Amino acid sequence: MALIKVQDLKIHFFTIRGTAKAVDGVSFQIQKNQTLGLIGESGCGKTTTAMALMQFVKPPGKIVSGKILFNGSDIVAMNDEQIRQLRGRDIAIVRQEAQNALNPVMTIGRQITELILEHEPVTKKAALARAQNQLNLVGISDKRIDSYPHEFSGGMKQRAMVAIATACNPKLLILDEPTTGLDVIVQRQILSMLNNLKEELHLTSVFISHDLSVVAETCDRVAVMYAGKLMEEAGTVDLYQKPLHPYSQALIGAYPSLKGEKRKLVSIPGAPPRLIDPPLGCRFAPRCSHAMTECNVTEPPIKEKAGHRVACHLIK
């Protein structure tokens, strides 16, 4: 059952230089209790798409068309009051570099209780007890409830962010590069914690990353984005073992691994296109080693077979 249905979402940024079509007609669904990974290079629109799920599109960006259906209601059409109710309570976010998201002059405990008291009619005492529970849930001793963010290490701050975000048991958790920049051991500990939380709290989540190995470990389905378009979407195992789109194949091919034979890796030549004047046809065509004439003229429609969706003229 789908918790979120994104239909033909378009988010454009209106700048002096022109209109950047950052997200240009993206559709996908997020199933309940599943984790959807959104992968792609910098600038592909994955963060913008995820932010739009909470209507967090900063000007000069604007959602110009499309629908985001959440339990039947369209998030795009919600007014300020409705969206305020939604954020924090139904949909929450954990961003990269938690130190910028945490309030430096408030204790961690206060930041959690503040969120709970905002959305739920409970007493301060009850909120405090829940806050302590949240800290334990993410592996931080509840004695640290009165600590300030600067007293935490990078990994702890990230975990504190997860504690805050899950305080009201949100239906959807958005994780935007939550472990990027953290050491591999801290990353492993945080990913384990997230996996446990997923089961305990029955979380549905969106996991944004440019790191294919982290996505392989945490996601049930993966969507690959490029230059504002969805290139491929499938179950994780399916995508990694049988990637259909040349871009997905190149991404997986550019990924070195620790074990096994040291193979010669090929990085993708060139750079993503400008979003102000994107190329006609498939946006990946200029860098695609399999590009045909058709690719430079018409945009490939999304074709689906057995839960595996791909936008590529090569696939019949």
| Residues lying near other proteins in the complex (CB under 8 A) | 41-42, 153-156, 181, 183-189, 191-192, 210-214, 216-217, 219, 236-237, 240, 250-252, 254-259, 262, 265-268, 271
Distance from C-alpha of 161 to C-alpha of 156, rounded to nearest angstrom: 9
Residue 29: φ, ψ to 5°: -130, 150
Distance CA 211, CA 257 (A): 12
Q: 172-176 and 204-209 as β-strands: parallel, antiparallel, unpaired?
A: parallel
34 neighbors 199 (Cβ within 8 angstroms): no
Cis peptide before 273 (omega within 30 of 0): no
Which is nearer to other proteins, 49 or 113 (by Cβ)?
49
* Maximum alpha-carbon separation in the chain: 67
Residue 111: strand pairing partners = none
Using only C-alpha atoms, what is the Rg of the chain?
Answer: 20
